[in-house]
A and B are shown apart, each in its own frame.
Chain A
Amino acid sequence: MKWYRYGVLLLVGMLTLGGSLAIAQPESPFKEQLVYSLTSFNGSSFSKNFCPQSEDTIYLIAHENSVVTPVKTIVYYWPITRRYMAGFSTLNERINGKLEIVHNGKVIATQPEQKYVLYYPKGYWSEKAVMYLDEEAENYYKKYKQAVDVFNQKLREYYQAMERYREVLNRFFEEVRRRREAGEEGPLNIPIPKEPKAPDFVDFYTSEPASGFILNLPPGKYEIRLRRDDGTIFEGSEKKLFVFTSRRKGGVGYEIIPGNRWTKKENCDDPSWIIHAVGKNDLYFNPYKQEEYNELYYNKLVDPQEIGRLERFKWVHIDPIENVTLLFGRGKEILQTVERTPYFVKQIPGPELGYEIIQYDEELKKKGYQPTFESYKVSLPPHLPKTDYQISLVSSGSGQPEEKSERTVRMLKKENAPYLYLVAFLPLFVGVVTIIGRATKIEK
């Protein structure tokens, strides 16, 4: 009868499990949430992201403007990337109120919303952006709109000029054909029509004015919350705020493109880092101004759902350094003086699947190619004595050295590596001499 008992138990178990599964309805993956939309200063530009309810702390850089904007939106979990996503296009409801900043249990400021724009002096895709507030924000946006209007006007004129140009060109070809058919030989002396030049697009960009709470605080731990106009605190608006600063700043970091693998760049950011090489090499250096931040804080600043290690620090490239000359030398002797030059990566046709890095020139320009990258090229010839070399930057105008731009390029004598095992025997040799010496002394 045992099988009968087990069967009943199994049935009861299945029914219980089935019942509990039926009762536990799957939770809806979409939730309406109050989130903080963030425009955080990241050292050179502004990172745009949002802080969902799952994250209790917002991280910001000290003494710089950043914007937090409370918004009601749809939040859902995206398991592939293991993070919460916001459906701003579905719901993007602004919450009215004032932002309170609390420090050590006291409200230290109550912020009203402010208008702001992001101004990109070298265009939308450039790495640098500046934030302007209130009236200045309006002015910068107007300036951009006016520049775009002027561009549009020039573009219209260009299209008209192109239309005229095509007509003139057709007449020109017609005339050439007619006179050639008439038997005329030699130069025809007909003026060649000149193609009109397309106008350059506006070289800067200003974002549309938006409003939010501007935070510019000294380093420390704070709390923020949104107080409604009726005096109550908006539920779910309380967040911790961690404002931090860099550990080290003011140095120069290098991005190095090795000639043999141009897609796999190396970084030489810390002044203590050394570039070790063993033979012939072409190295392309790109210098940056940089600052060193805590890895966890910085990653959380860029994306609150990102992870990081509290014990680690990372160098962040702030601005590319321009108008400098790179010096490569040994001791006080300068071996190469290098200027910034554009380069083009040319694929080598055939089965080798290789490439060649060549200097970008007029010929390539005429063919319509753009430079692949711009850099400072240092060539290490095959018979370069194997010792230490230095690279450093000096200002192209004044010749003043750039602070903390020195790095060592160390040429290693790899061929001597096996002898290292021999050196390890040194203490044994000393031991033999000492002990045998003593034994001999005692014997005597």
Chain B
Amino acid sequence: MMKNGKVMKTLLKRDLLYALYSWGYYGAIFASFLASSFLLKNFLDAIREEDILVSAFPLNYPLYITLIVISLYLVIMSAISISREREQGTLEVLFYGPVTPASFLWSRYLKDLTLGILALAFTALYFYVASVLTNLGFTIGLAKALIMGIFLISCVVSFGLFISSLTGRMRSSIITLMAILGAFLAIQFVYNMLLGIEKESLSPSLLYLRQTTSYLFRGINWISPFAYLSRGLDSVILENRTLYVTHVLYCVIYSLVFVFLSIYTMGKRGVKA
């Protein structure tokens, strides 16, 4: 157990430093902030002089986008590194030593989570400065949503690890991951978009599409990590502490289930590409 912990710590340190000294990590955060700035500027431009705009938490949507960009980057980078190590045989060499699937995958999970928390710290700073500049308001609700973001990142990372443990080659790993997470996002986005339109305004084909996406959304509701984020943000808006804690618990359970599934799959499947 002690040995496993030490191995995990060594792997975690190695991977974490590798990520922190690479441009990609900062580039991903920059891209997400750029998208947020664009959204916030549009929001401000929408309010004309002598007019008002009633809205709840205008920073929540940019936060949502930021979280998605950061978590997608982390999960894809993680999948690439696992597959690369598998393809190059590094994983096999490591597993001849004291490294086990559990220590390897836990170190990956904790590395991504740490990077995610660091990215959220950047996000908090970004929103704070944005609030000072524009008075959009850095509220307790936003702080709660940021904390909820840690659990979303945990869900995405654990789900990504599971997919990486299932696939062998780097290309198939990335394609599978992108396809599944992209589909989750697309279903959620299309469903929410169509939900916002009154039924009378929808053509029959869009009506069927809405019904179809509604069924699909219900189907992925407990699998898609992004659905957990939406529910978590809803609990912040509702100011319901019980609901908030329940969603945090759901996220923890989700993450644990997928990390253990990944360990099990890697143990069964082996480390060869």
A binds B: yes
Tell whether B96 is near chain A: CB-to-CB under 8 Å: no
Tell whether B147 is near chain A: CB-to-CB under 8 Å: no
Tell whether B1 is near chain A: CB-to-CB under 8 Å: no
Q: Which residues of A are found within 8 Å of B199, using beta-carbon distances?
A: 307
CB distance from B61 to the nearest CB of A (A): 14
Known contacts A267-B54, A281-B50, A427-B26; A410/B195 CB under 8 A: no
Taking CB atoms and an 8 Å cut-off, the chain A residues in 201-260 that contact chain B are 256, 258-260
Binds A, one of B7-15, B97-105, B128-136: B128-136
Known contacts A386-B135, A416-B134, A417-B45; A423/B50 CB under 8 A: no
Tell whether A196 is near chain B: CB-to-CB under 8 Å: no
Tell whether B20 is near chain A: CB-to-CB under 8 Å: yes
Tell whether A271 is near chain B: CB-to-CB under 8 Å: yes
CB distance from B242 to the nearest CB of A (A): 14
Rounded to whole angstroms, the CA-CA distance of A434 and B22 in the bound complex is 9
Q: Which of B40, B41, B49, B56 contacts A278 (CB 8 A)?
A: B49
Using an 8 Å CB-CB cutoff, how does the interface string of B199-226 with A read, 1 for contact, 0 for none?
A: 1100000000000000000000000000
Known contacts A272-B141, A281-B50, A412-B136; A423/B130 CB under 8 A: yes
Name the residue of chain B whose CB is nearest to the CB of A268: B54
Contact in complex: B54, A275 (CB < 8 Å): yes
Tell whether A4 is near chain B: CB-to-CB under 8 Å: no
Using an 8 Å CB-CB cutoff, how does the interface string of B44-79 with A read, 1 for contact, 0 for none?
A: 110111111111111000000000000000000000
Rounded to whole angstroms, the CA-CA distance of A312 and B49 in the bound complex is 31
Q: Give how many A residues have a beta carbon under 8 Å from the other chain's beta carbons.
A: 51
Contact in complex: B50, A280 (CB < 8 Å): yes
Binds A, one of B31-39, B85-93, B246-254, B259-267: B31-39
Q: Which residues of B are found within 8 Å of A173, using beta-carbon distances?
A: none
Q: Which residues of B are found within 8 Å of A416, using beta-carbon distances?
A: 133-134
Contact in complex: B53, A424 (CB < 8 Å): no
- For the complex of A and B, list the 7 residue pairs with the smallest distance between their C-beta atoms, beginning with the closest: A431-B26, A424-B33, A427-B29, A420-B37, A416-B133, A417-B44, A272-B56
Extra 16 A-B pairs, beta carbons < 8 Å, given A279-B49, A413-B135, A414-B45: A260-B51, A270-B56, A272-B57, A274-B57, A275-B54, A276-B53, A276-B55, A280-B50, A416-B134, A420-B130, A420-B133, A421-B37, A426-B126, A434-B20, A435-B22, A438-B21
